[in-house]
Amino acid sequence: MFDHRGKPLATVVIGGITSSTLLTLVVLPALYRMFEREVRD
């Protein structure tokens, strides 16, 4: 399906989707909780 030029592009796309999903589901809620605690104190 992919030629020799398409495989690196597919790897970058999959990596970008994975990293953005982890950022949205893990890192942003953790940062939100951290800053929320600082505001309350």
Model confidence band, residue 41 (pLDDT cutoffs 50, 70, 90): low
- How far is Cα 38 from Cα 2, in angstroms, rounded to an integer? 49
- How far is Cα 15 from Cα 34, in angstroms, rounded to an integer? 27
DSSP string, 10-33: HHHHHHHHHHHHHIIIIIHHHHHH
Model confidence band, residue 3 (pLDDT cutoffs 50, 70, 90): low
For 4-33, write each residue's pLDDT tens digit. 777 888 899 999 999 999 999 999 999 999
